[in-house]
Amino acid sequence: MRKLLLPLALTLAASAFSTLTQAENAKAIFAGGCFWCMEEAYDEIEGVKATTSGYIGGEKSNPSYQQVSRGETRHTEAVEVEYDPQTVDYATLLEAFWHNIDPFVENRQFCDSGPQYRSAIFYQNDEQKRLAEKTKAELEERFDQTIATEIVPANQFWEAEGYHQDYYKKNPVRYRFYKAGCGRTDRLKEVWGDQAGLPGNK
């Protein structure tokens, strides 16, 4: 009986540790145009455990990429970031967000146009909202210009189709061609200078 109980105890302990680890992680959701590019930016930050491309901000349940890309659902492409708050804080994730978008344009990012590519911060609690609004106000003062990025409460996040997940890793040549052709890197440098893509993005 003891031989049977020991493996069971180890299994339960491992399960409890896994649940505890997941519970200790936090989530943040950002929309910054093409979700492939936002995944790459966040994956390079220490403390980020996972990124998931998806759709948020609309009303239709389980929207498809075709529906979202045609602007039929009011969703926007977004990335859900799971992170360890003991290693990286939400303020750092916000810094990465701002330095990876063009904050001045409405209903577009770089070569992608339409409300499905609008920039937005989807907060999940009062502290995320406070920090998002604080940094937005600081940027408006810094640039003396209106920041178009929305700050709105998160609603249902729908995971995108499998072929969109880690696209920049699975299709590096096509991804680099898209990113360069879209003018993302050049525009980020124009807006942010040496801070473009920071922190974390190459």
Residue 23 is predicted with a pLDDT of 56
Regarding beta strands 112-113 and 119-123, do their DSSP bridges make them parallel or antiparallel, or are they unpaired?
unpaired
For residue 151, what are the β-bridge partners? 121
Q: Which residues are catalytic?
A: 34
A 10 A CB-CB count for 132 gives 25
| C-alpha to C-alpha distance for 19 and 61, rounded to whole angstroms | 28
Residue 168 is predicted with a pLDDT of 96
> pLDDT tens per residue, the chain (202 residues)?
444 444 544 444 444 444 444 558 999 999 999 999 999 999 999 999 999 999 999 989 999 999 999 999 999 999 999 999 999 999 999 999 999 999 999 999 999 999 999 999 999 999 999 999 999 999 999 999 999 999 999 999 999 999 999 999 999 999 999 999 999 999 999 999 999 988 754 4
What's the pTM value of the predicted model, to 2 decimals?
0.86
Residue 198 is predicted with a pLDDT of 82
| C-alpha to C-alpha distance for 68 and 121, rounded to whole angstroms | 18
